[in-house]
Amino acid sequence: MVTDDLLKKVDKSKMPRHVAIIMDGNGRWANLRGLLRSAGHTAGVKTLKKILTTAVNLKLEALTVYAFSTENWKRPLTEVEFLMHLFSEYLEKEKLEMHANNVRIRFLGRTEDFSPLIQSQIQSATDLMKNNTGVKFNIAADYGGQDEIVRAAQKLARKVANGEISAENITANVFEDELDTVGQPPVDLLIRTGGDLRISNFLLWQAAYAELWFTKTNFPEFTPEEFIEALIDFGNRDRRFGGVTKD
């Protein structure tokens, strides 16, 4: 349980504005216990609720989680179907509590590829929380960083073809306006659980200057305390954005 004393250990002046999490290790957590992978995904959802609650308590500006990648469709059909069911169940059960906590939800990726039911639930949750002013909670689902960049380039190409903008006027800021995270700050801290040391096609543009924080802890065991540990570590880093050291 996150206590007020633990929350006070985070220096708000050095806290990241935008944290992204690759929630990895659900399957490994289940395998280590002789359980089905579905049990790991279910446990991961419970962990996510705790992390989002911590983000709300800390008044974090934005939190993005990698829920389902474009490559995850290649997993066994039974696992994909379970993940879709879990995603649907999560939205239905949690949206009212998120709304009560002033969370504003957004979905990143090709949401049009989901079932009509899930698309309806995505729209319902988005509409419900659209005027909230608390944590910007982004769920990356059917998402890939390269795919997002390609989609943004296609949008701009159509605008150029229609005479809405000239190619010479396409700047980094103009490009960012076509990304799924439009209007949100870049990622300051990227956390990956589960022990792997890679970013797996996640927020490639937004995390260009993000600080990386890896842990061997599988996501179902990733506690709010360890989340806060990552935030404290971030606050102690010297971010240079390609510049020279202060020393």
Catalytic residues: 24, 72
Whole-angstrom CA distances from 85 to 45, 80, 89, 117, 205 are 12, 9, 6, 10, 30
Strands (E), the chain: 18-22, 62-69, 104-108, 136-143, 189-192, 211-214
Whole-angstrom CA distances from 241 to 19, 197, 210, 211, 237 are 17, 21, 9, 10, 12
Question: How far apart, in whole angstroms, are the C-alpha atoms of residue 135 and residue 102?
Answer: 7
Q: What are phi and psi of 154, to 5 degrees?
A: -65, -40
Q: Is 15 left (phi over 0), alpha (psi -120 to 50) or beta?
A: beta
Spell out a b/e string for 13-31, using b for 16 or more CB atoms within 10 Å of the CB, else e.
eebbebbbbbbbbbbbbbe
Q: What are phi and psi of 187, to 5 degrees?
A: -70, 125
Question: How far apart, in whole angstroms, are the C-alpha atoms of residue 186 and residue 176?
Answer: 10
Beta bridge partners of 148: none
- CA 55 to centroid of chain Cα atoms: 12
Question: How far apart, in whole angstroms, are the C-alpha atoms of residue 224 and residue 53?
Answer: 9
Tokens of 88: 């649907």
